Amino acid sequence: MFKTSILFTALLSAVAFASVSAAPVQTEGTGIGKHGEIKLAVTFDNGKIQDIKVLEDHENKVLAAKVFTDLKDAVIANNSVKVDGIADATFSSKGFLNAVSDAAKKAGVKLSDQAKKAKKADAAMPAVQNYDVVVIGAGGAGFAAAVEAKSKGANVVLIEKMPTVGGNSLISGAEMNVPNSWVQNKLNIKDDTPARMAADTLKGGDFKGDPEIVGVMTVNALPTAEWLRDTVGVNFEKDNVFQFGGHSRKRALIPEGHTGTEVITKFSALADKMGIPVITNMKAEELVKDKDGRVVAVKAVSADKEYTFNAKGGVVLATGGFGANAQMVKKTTDAPGTTGEALYMAEKAGGQLVNMGYIQTYPICDPISGVIELIADARFDGAILVNQEGKRFVEELERRDVISNAILKQPGAYCYVLWNDNIGKISNTVKIHDTEYQAFTKQGIMHTSDTLKGAADFFHIPYANLKATVDRVNQMAKDGGKDLDFHNRGGLKDLSTGKYYIIKAVPSIHHTMGGVRINPKAEALDKNGKPVPGLYAAGEVTGCTHGTNRLGGNAYTDIMVFGRIAGEQAAQAAKATK
């Protein structure tokens, strides 16, 4: 009887304990990503994270994919936010981790302070692999090369050192300059030609670009854009083109969404359909040459394991520039992978590097992170640039280098972009990038006001000066839009009524003009101007196209045209060796 009572009492105690034990608790947390608020629902059980659900986000779906999978798994596994973020999604990672921290704080849960590195998966694949063409770099140029080579019958592999694909091609606006395009024809822009675009390009680069290379780019711009539309499946806006600084005509096609997401997602899907292996976290380290001096392989490393990718037809370098090289720059709009190792690889293999001294800044960037303020591209639709004194100081549609240099000469080396609802209503740029409004406002670098005085006061701009500037702009807008002060080639727009939107901006490293010297066949050239057998290059890794300064919209044309050419030439070389 006594033993039974003890057992019964123990059972009662266990039941009582279970009844008062803490049930799983779910709380919501928020953080600011690159493009706006990230909202999560985090479930905790006995102080441990059990699950994380994404309720809301506005991030780039390609870059942020591993944030919401790999990073999420690492946070749950470690019960900690002290884990490595996704390398090429820094701000999305930070916003995600901050949202988890916010949820934990609301739940009264203390997460682990242990900093643990995420384990990298080592793919079970052969250390030596054989292909016709090896493409290094899974951005726009790399995908264009790989798809074109595959379509010509080559066996292709695409290797990428970062955990995700896309590079600068993904995070850019992805506008592509194309003369005589179907959109121009629809908008009755009938007088644009490859020769006109070539003249603009050479002038924009102070005539330091290679005229032959520029000519190949401009002549092939339209058929390449049609290939992107009809073969790759890229959707471009049907009734809108941009006129970037330095261009004499509106000619930049605009992909849906105004970023490279539309292009890279379509390329990724096509590469998968075509059976092109895309291997991420694979860092190329050396180009291998045979006894005859031909580049025949790539040595690479992933998760501390060495691999060799043999390339019968050749190797295509499509790795981007060196804008993210920490030894060269402090702030940059470039993807983290653009650190320039391929330039040294190419040089070691015999290639010549040219125009390495020319680096371009993008004038309108976030003072905190250095990323482009895409919403501030409202300047293409009539927004004005003013300094801390409330005065205009440069044409808003000038060359990027000219605007950047002008900003750096202003008090504090920054400026403001100002527009109103009238411009916001007609600007597809503002509409598409409205999620940036939330992020930049919370950072304190953007403000909305019903009155011009409110906009001035928020950033301590002398109101009388700003009012005088806006009054003059309004008068010129009323008189037909002709800019008598700075000759804005797009014409001035009325700013007489609110709401007003104002954002602080600084120049940031955006594009490196120098790189591998190539010929019209995208073959890498040596110091004597002769091709390095088996080595091709396309995109920002090359140095012949843009001279001292790249005009907006020319990068996508460059990478797509020469990406295709490089892939085709390497595929033909592979056939010739069979």
Active-site residue list:
400
Query: Which residues, listed in sequence order, are joined to residue 287 by a DSSP beta bridge?
Result: 298
Taking the C-alpha atoms of 463, 468, 474 and 477 in order, what is their torsion angle to the nearest 10 degrees?
-130
Instruction: Give CA 343 to chain center in angstroms.
Output: 20
Cβ-in-10-Å burial (0-12, 13-18, 19+) of 317 comes to buried
Instruction: Give CA 197 to chain center in angstroms.
Output: 24
Q: Using CA atoms, how far apart are residues 293 and 350, in angstroms rounded to an integer? A: 9
Q: Using CA atoms, how far apart are residues 479 and 499, in angstroms rounded to an integer? A: 23
331: DSSP letter:
S
CB atoms closer than 10 angstroms to residue 534: 28
Cis ω on the peptide bond leading into residue 499 (within 30° of 0)? yes
User: Considering Cα of 57, then 58, then 60, then 61, what sign does the dihedral take?
Assistant: positive
Three-class SS string for 82-113? Answer: CECCCCCCHHHHHHHHHHHHHHHHHHCCCCCC
Is the Cβ–Cβ distance between 164 and 70 less than 8 Å? Answer: no
Q: Using CA atoms, how far apart are residues 383 and 379, in angstroms rounded to an integer? A: 4
What token pair was written down for 404? 């950047």
Describe the crossing of helices 140-151 and 554-576 by its angle, rounded to 10 degrees: 40
Q: Using CA atoms, how far apart are residues 200 and 194, in angstroms rounded to an integer? A: 10
Cis ω on the peptide bond leading into residue 203 (within 30° of 0)? no
Describe the crossing of helices 261-274 and 140-151 by its angle, rounded to 10 degrees: 30
Name the strand (E) or helix (H) holding 535. strand 531-537
Closest CA to 503 of 362, 380, 384: 384
Name the strand (E) or helix (H) holding 386. strand 384-386
Query: Which residues, listed in sequence order, are joined to residue 305 by a DSSP beta bridge?
Result: 302
Cβ-in-10-Å burial (0-12, 13-18, 19+) of 126 comes to exposed
| Cα–Cα separations (whole angstroms), residue 101 to 30, 78, 105 | 9, 13, 6
Q: What is the DSSP string of 107-174?
A: HT-------BPPPPP-----SEEEEEEEEE--SHHHHHHHHHHHHTT--EEEE-SSSSS-HHHHHS--
